[in-house]
Structure 1
Amino acid sequence: MLKKLIYASFFGIAALPALTKGQTHTSTFSGVKISAEKMEVNVQFYSPAIVRVTKSPINHNFKKQSLSVIKVPEKVKIISGNLNNELYFKSSKIIVFIDRNTGRVRFSELNGKKLLTEKDRGTNFSSVQDNGHETYDVKQSFTLDTAEALYGLGQLQNGKLSQRNQKVLLKQENTRVSIPFIQSSKGYGVFWDNYSPTTFEDTPQETSFDSQRGDCSDYYFMYGGNVDGVVAKMRELTGQAPMKPLWAYGFIQSRERYKTQFELMDVVKKYRALNIPLDGIVQDWQYWGPDSNWNAMAFDKKTYPRPQAMIDSVHQQNAHLFIVSWPGFGPKTQQYAEFKEKNMLIDFDTWPPKGGAKPYDVYNPKARSIYWNYLNKGIFSLGPDAWWLDSTEPDHINIKESDWYQQTYLGTYLNWLNAFPLEHTSGVYNNQRLTSDRKRVVLLTRSAFAGQQRNGSDTWSGDLGSNWGNLKRQIPAVLNFGMTGLPYWNVDIGGFFAGAFVKDGGAKNPEFQKLYVRWMQFSTFTSMMRSHGTDIPREIYQFGNKGDWAFDVQEKYINLRYKLLPYIYSVGWNVTHNSGSFIRPLLADYPNDRKVRNLSSEFLLGKSLLISPVTDKDVQDQQVYLPAGYWYDFWTGEKIAGNKMIDKKTPIDVIPFFVKAGTIIPWGPSVQYALEKKWDKLDIRIYPGADGDFTLYEDENDNYNYEKQKYSEITFHWNDKAKTLTIDSRRGGFEGMLTNRKFNVDISPVGAENAAKGKIVSYTGTKTTVKL
């Protein structure tokens, strides 16, 4: 009946069915506005699969400009009509229904299958005063199917993958990234576009977002069909992620903190002398001197007398330098004085304690430009390569009730606090790109918000304690973070606070060594492999010498990371070019497998590599679930049928690591840094048992010329039945591109330490087929 009614309707929405007495409607651009239950209800298609729904009290005048959403609504063809008490609007992807009496909105697939329904009278406004302005506590409730799972909400530390039956306060804090976004196992997502502290709660009766401040209920419904599809819709709505430079996927060494420029330079020298690969080193806080001079964006003359020589030394050793920058300023800095004079400080205490520092008003575009001008003049002009943007929540200490009502450029702080990291990173990203396009912007941030992926942001999980429980919780944390649409996430290898191990030998303590190397094994497969922490220095040589197990295991995984760089960089291109994800839950590829709905101990890197980190102290055999199909044990080459749980032995140097049948992996050369050798003799490893494809991506590695189509793609096709590998003609090109190269094609699964013994194929850019 529904299908007949829909197809008997008409294109366009200008001639809506008649409404009952007292009801009004207005056609809008690809949408409609109606009045119901003393509310104005506005439904607008942004695309055939993305719909914005706003509700506000009648006659409450306000302006709403999203900070996260940058998509401009499309002109969408819509069929509309009337069904019982509901108006309906059908695009080529979904149907939206609006109850004419209550304003309730619901969504379904084209075949009528229910996706999401607002709870009857589930939009609630409680009037509050906000510095003399009338606004509301806004709550929007939905009803969900009992069986569906929910994911997202940012980075939580609750150890759960599905967020059903949870109550979470979404408020930015160190170790907690709060993003009011959920996606369902039914293939849809909801972005609640509000920046104030928001309580998400899921009960048997309802699922709701309840924000402390808001002029309207404002959410975006998106239908993607599956995990990857929903992520792609969120990127379409809030922005695409730019490419990271190749070097940023290499190994990064840090410490809290290097205290002189000579100490920092010495670390790079030691890595080079030991032949341990390294691509980045991080200068953490207090290079500016005392706390009163906090974040002065200038080097202290006593401890960093020649900063240009330091940066040049790092570059001469083919490494890259991160410099830390904070959003708060000490009272004796020039920045503090200028921001105070221009009323661009937010008047509450931030880190460090008793230092008198205040954060600048990140919501003010002029303040963001001033921030960059100081950062550019004092630091960027010297040539560093990346930024460590610490305290991007920001830290808020000595809290007073009045702090929440500090006036910012956009309004009181309470209204906007969750978007602080988004606005702060936007200022650095946009202004660096205006200053120079020669280096891709790399931002290591401690917090994030919806849309921050467009700022070159790679968020780390914050200042965690060094323990096994925290390590285990990071797997569901990164999976939920990625399902909000932000692809790049990393950890402090070993956890940040390691004081519990100091008395018993620090880095020589076998218990800390065990925890650290297991954490490193996990980090090998995240978007940034980075060692950092306080209490115990983490450089590889602190753990012993070559021949010592704690040293050798680290060396093994650092080298594994570099071998995987061609695969990892191509996954990065899929993130940028196809709205892909870096780390993915198993349910992304196996949505009908109920066993993976809440599987929080494993993940996929790209589409082909399955990783199950060891997160228990004394485990000798780890249970790993392999989904349907065939899988290869990376270390042994054993082929295993999936759809079952297996036991994998886990000596200290082994992380359970499996490769899906049909996978093609380009295997990089042994190097000391990412750009040491060209990829002119790559091993191409094929894991037979199914057909497969892989696209090798290459570009100029660290500029934005890829945005001008200066890159190349080479696609490999494996035909399992015919046992042939077809290498397609190269697409695209760029300056310095390899025009002639060799591929060593190997069909036999081999472990990390084994050299490929395959067929050498000369490739000049034209289509080639190899029989194996």
Structure 2
Amino acid sequence: MQCRERYNSQAELLENAREFRRRRLPVDVMVQDWQYWGKYGWSAMRFDEVSYPDPAAMVKDLHAMDMRFMLSVWAAIGRDSELGKQVAGLGYYIEETNWVDMFNPEAAQFYARNQSRRLSTLGIDAWWQDATEPENDDLAGREMFGGPGERVRLTYPLQVSRTVYNGQRSFDPGRRVMILTRSAFLGQQRYASATWSGDIGSDWDTLRRQVPAGLNMAAAGYPYWTVDAGGFFRPGKGQYTDPAYHECFLRWLQYATFLPLQRVHGYQTDTELWRFGETVERVGRQYLELRYRLMPYLYSMGADCWRTGAPLMRPLVFDFPNDAKALDQTHSYMFGRALHVAPVLKGGVERWPVYLPSTPGGWYDYWTGERRQGGQVHDVPAPLDRIPVHVRAGSIVAHGPVTQSTAESIRDRIVLHVYPGADGSCEVYEDGGLDYAYEQGDHAIVTCRWNDATRTLTLRRAAGKPVGAYASSRFKAVLHGQGGDVAEPVEMTFGVKGASHRFR
């Protein structure tokens, strides 16, 4: 997700979107932050035509570039706006505040109906429901539909997410809902709602504190969480030329590559990678491309989360409950079942200490293929272009090609990377991507199993539509070995009965 505070016009947003494509920097979502409503008043659910003469055409232009559009919408609506006057006339505000009373079902329905009619009809793909705290303690001392404000205010973001989710599923039932909010409450993930850590600083200490913050969210059952990569409150104009900030920013972007959502944002900042010089653009491109190469793995993790509730990122205790040293690690984590991630959280270093939990067969350095034992700390090379990532032995990690967005088909271009040393399995999941047909079984799952003793990889269609409807009917498979050796890719074509291959 490409975001900044803020794009100031339709022309500016589209110009930057085209530049991403021209430079071949992968991106799926362009985000419009606040103030686009201009003369119409705060969060009036209208674009000011002076700067945004044709928002529907803007969205169509983005779609033509295989991009999606996310819009910032607030639950606080200015009372001087045309929409705000309707809210006030109906008694749908929380007393004297500007916050719509989402605890009142009628008020919530009114809000959802207007968001659908005024904005969804423009083709907008995703919603940035900002400031759902609500901010400034505005609800303290207020009586609301749900009770005293100070008691129920923490549940307000849950009400907003539920309102928007139910509204879109009613208004446009065939299109998936995507919501990003600044605050969350237990159970909010049921409403297609992700959250991020808010308006944070941009120093090393802030970056360090993001890791346990995100793991706490995951441990609480909230799977989709992210950060403002690079920090929200940036160090002014010097950020574009300061090598010290560039180092911190790149470490932040590397960390964000292994979060449920990868997102860049920044206050009063043109956050596009090319603004920061050749090094940032070069290393940044490496991680954007890695994110897209990992998309089959990521999407399959998302499907597993949908089916089981398992978070995408999680504390090591989830996977290694019997390793006492693993329980003490607060700044490294598992990203799915296969990948161990240890972000670099300090400047001026070329190596980073990494504790790898005890596991049969040990671990592989993702970058070099070097084999490392579990149950001990390793001093791992970590130059500026490398975040320490290890793959658990026995893992099968699905990769795709480098694409510029998820709109590009990767069918028949998936490569299964097998890391021997233990038995293992994975599932590769696919569906239509933008609709809810998967809820009725319109999806495909291919189960991949590795038998370490016989060095055999077996593929089976586990569920869903016939292979070829969504899931690839042809995979390539590569076997990793000692010292970074990789066997020649093997093509595996299979039908209903599946396929297997024994590596020598």
Give the TM-score band, short-chain normalised: over 0.9
CA positional deviation for 1:522:
0.4
The equivalent of 2:146 in structure 1 is 410
User: CA distance change for structure 1 residues 296 and 739 in 2, over 3 Å: closer, same or farther?
Assistant: closer
Match of 2:196 among 450, 455, 460: 460
Q: Which moved more, 1:330-339 or 1:703-712?
A: 330-339
Distance in 2 (alpha carbons) for counterparts of 1:313 and 1:325: 21
Structure 1 unaligned segments of length 5 or more: list them: 1-251, 350-357
Match of 2:328 among 566, 575, 598: 598
1:652 aligns with 2:389: no
The equivalent of 1:609 in structure 2 is 339
User: CA distance change for structure 1 residues 756 and 475 in 2, over 3 Å: closer, same or farther?
Assistant: farther
User: CA distance change for structure 1 residues 326 and 740 in 2, over 3 Å: closer, same or farther?
Assistant: closer
Distance in 1 (alpha carbons) for counterparts of 2:90 and 2:481: 64
CA positional deviation for 1:535:
2.8
Distance in 2 (alpha carbons) for counterparts of 1:451 and 1:536: 34
Which amino acid in structure 1 is aligned with residue 5 of structure 2?
E
Contact 2:6–2:268 (8 Å) recurs in 1: no
User: CA distance change for structure 1 residues 681 and 419 in 2, over 3 Å: closer, same or farther?
Assistant: same
Secondary structure of 1:648's aligned partner: strand
The equivalent of 2:267 in structure 1 is 534
1:282 aligns with 2:22: no
The equivalent of 2:209 in structure 1 is 473
Q: Give the TM-score of the pair, scaled to structure 2.
A: 0.96
The equivalent of 1:395 in structure 2 is 135
The equivalent of 1:726 in structure 2 is 458
State the Cα deviation string for residues 180-200 of structure 1 (Å, max 9, x = none): xxxxxxxxxxxxxxxxxxxxx
1:368 aligns with 2:108: yes
User: CA distance change for structure 1 residues 627 and 701 in 2, over 3 Å: closer, same or farther?
Assistant: same
CA positional deviation for 1:415:
2.4
State the Cα deviation string for residues 437-472 of structure 1 (Å, max 9, x = none): 222110011000011010101101000011111100
Which amino acid in structure 2 is aligned with residue 605 of structure 1?
F
Match of 1:337 among 80, 85, 90: 85
User: CA distance change for structure 1 residues 440 and 448 in 2, over 3 Å: closer, same or farther?
Assistant: same
Secondary structure of 2:144's aligned partner: coil
State the Cα deviation string for residues 156-215 of structure 1 (Å, max 9, x = none): xxxxxxxxxxxxxxxxxxxxxxxxxxxxxxxxxxxxxxxxxxxxxxxxxxxxxxxxxxxx
Tell me which stretches of 4 or more aligned residues in structure 1 moved more than 6 Å.
none
How large is the Cα RMSD of the aligned pairs? 1.9
Which amino acid in structure 2 is aligned with residue 467 of structure 1?
D
Identify, as 1 or 2, the structure richer in strand.
1
The equivalent of 1:560 in structure 2 is 290
Distance in 1 (alpha carbons) for counterparts of 2:65 and 2:487: 30
Contact 1:750–1:756 (8 Å) recurs in 2: no
CA positional deviation for 1:738:
4.5
Which amino acid in structure 1 is aligned with residue 402 of structure 2?
S
Distance in 1 (alpha carbons) for counterparts of 2:129 and 2:21: 27
Match of 1:668 among 392, 395, 400: 400
CA positional deviation for 1:408:
1.3
User: CA distance change for structure 1 residues 531 and 607 in 2, over 3 Å: closer, same or farther?
Assistant: same
Distance in 2 (alpha carbons) for counterparts of 1:293 and 1:570: 42
User: CA distance change for structure 1 residues 542 and 377 in 2, over 3 Å: closer, same or farther?
Assistant: same
Which amino acid in structure 1 is aligned with residue 226 of structure 2?
N
How many residues align structurally? Answer: 501
Contact 1:669–1:679 (8 Å) recurs in 2: no
User: CA distance change for structure 1 residues 595 and 739 in 2, over 3 Å: closer, same or farther?
Assistant: closer
CA positional deviation for 1:681:
2.4
Alignment of 1:662-741 (within 5 A): 662-733=394-465, 737-738=469-470, 741=473
Match of 1:272 among 21, 27, 33: 21
CA positional deviation for 1:409:
1.5
Secondary structure of 2:420's aligned partner: coil
1:443 aligns with 2:192: no
Secondary structure of 1:253's aligned partner: coil
Contact 1:683–1:756 (8 Å) recurs in 2: no
Match of 1:293 among 31, 41, 44: 41
Secondary structure of 2:128's aligned partner: strand
Distance in 1 (alpha carbons) for counterparts of 2:42 and 2:13: 20
The equivalent of 1:643 in structure 2 is 375
Match of 1:632 among 352, 364, 387: 364
CA positional deviation for 1:749:
5.3
Identify, as 1 or 2, the structure richer in helix.
2
The equivalent of 2:54 in structure 1 is 306
CA positional deviation for 1:558:
0.3
Secondary structure of 2:145's aligned partner: coil
Larger radius of gyration: 1
State the Cα deviation string for residues 543-599 of structure 1 (Å, max 9, x = none): 22xxx2211110000000000000000000110011211111111111122212231
Which amino acid in structure 2 is aligned with residue 673 of structure 1?
S
User: CA distance change for structure 1 residues 653 and 750 in 2, over 3 Å: closer, same or farther?
Assistant: farther
Which amino acid in structure 1 is aligned with residue 261 of structure 2?
M
Contact 1:634–1:751 (8 Å) recurs in 2: no
1:422 aligns with 2:158: yes
Distance in 1 (alpha carbons) for counterparts of 2:91 and 2:223: 36
Distance in 2 (alpha carbons) for counterparts of 1:739 and 1:424: 35
Q: Give the TM-score of the pair, scaled to structure 1.
A: 0.63
Which amino acid in structure 1 is aligned with residue 165 of structure 2?
Y
Distance in 2 (alpha carbons) for counterparts of 1:735 and 1:458: 31
Which amino acid in structure 1 is aligned with residue 178 of structure 2?
V
Contact 2:273–2:284 (8 Å) recurs in 1: yes
Contact 2:290–2:402 (8 Å) recurs in 1: no
Distance in 2 (alpha carbons) for counterparts of 1:471 and 1:416: 31
Alignment of 1:12-91 (within 5 A): none
Secondary structure of 1:517's aligned partner: helix
The equivalent of 2:252 in structure 1 is 519
User: CA distance change for structure 1 residues 513 and 770 in 2, over 3 Å: closer, same or farther?
Assistant: same
1:328 aligns with 2:76: yes
Q: Which moved more, 1:517-526 or 1:593-602?
A: 593-602
User: CA distance change for structure 1 residues 749 and 682 in 2, over 3 Å: closer, same or farther?
Assistant: farther
Match of 2:491 among 760, 763, 772: 760
Secondary structure of 1:685's aligned partner: strand
Distance in 2 (alpha carbons) for counterparts of 1:674 and 1:306: 26
Match of 1:748 among 467, 480, 488: 480
1:510 aligns with 2:243: yes
1:315 aligns with 2:48: no
Alignment of 1:100-499 (within 5 A): 252-290=1-39, 293-347=41-95, 358-396=98-136, 404-498=140-234
CA positional deviation for 1:513:
1.1
State the Cα deviation string for residues 259-316 of structure 1 (Å, max 9, x = none): 10000011110011111111110011010004x7000001001011111111110011
The equivalent of 2:353 in structure 1 is 623
Contact 2:411–2:472 (8 Å) recurs in 1: no
CA positional deviation for 1:767:
2.0
Contact 1:683–1:745 (8 Å) recurs in 2: yes
Distance in 2 (alpha carbons) for counterparts of 1:703 and 1:755: 38
User: CA distance change for structure 1 residues 440 and 647 in 2, over 3 Å: closer, same or farther?
Assistant: same
Distance in 2 (alpha carbons) for counterparts of 1:751 and 1:733: 40
Distance in 2 (alpha carbons) for counterparts of 1:681 and 1:304: 39
Which amino acid in structure 2 is aligned with residue 635 of structure 1?
W
CA positional deviation for 1:388:
0.4
CA positional deviation for 1:730:
4.6
Q: Which moved more, 1:462-471 or 1:755-764?
A: 755-764
CA positional deviation for 1:740:
6.3
User: CA distance change for structure 1 residues 689 and 463 in 2, over 3 Å: closer, same or farther?
Assistant: same
Distance in 1 (alpha carbons) for counterparts of 2:131 and 2:204: 24
Contact 2:418–2:479 (8 Å) recurs in 1: yes
CA positional deviation for 1:325:
0.4
State the Cα deviation string for residues 666-689 of structure 1 (Å, max 9, x = none): 110121111212321211100000
Contact 1:710–1:734 (8 Å) recurs in 2: no
Distance in 1 (alpha carbons) for counterparts of 2:472 and 2:46: 47
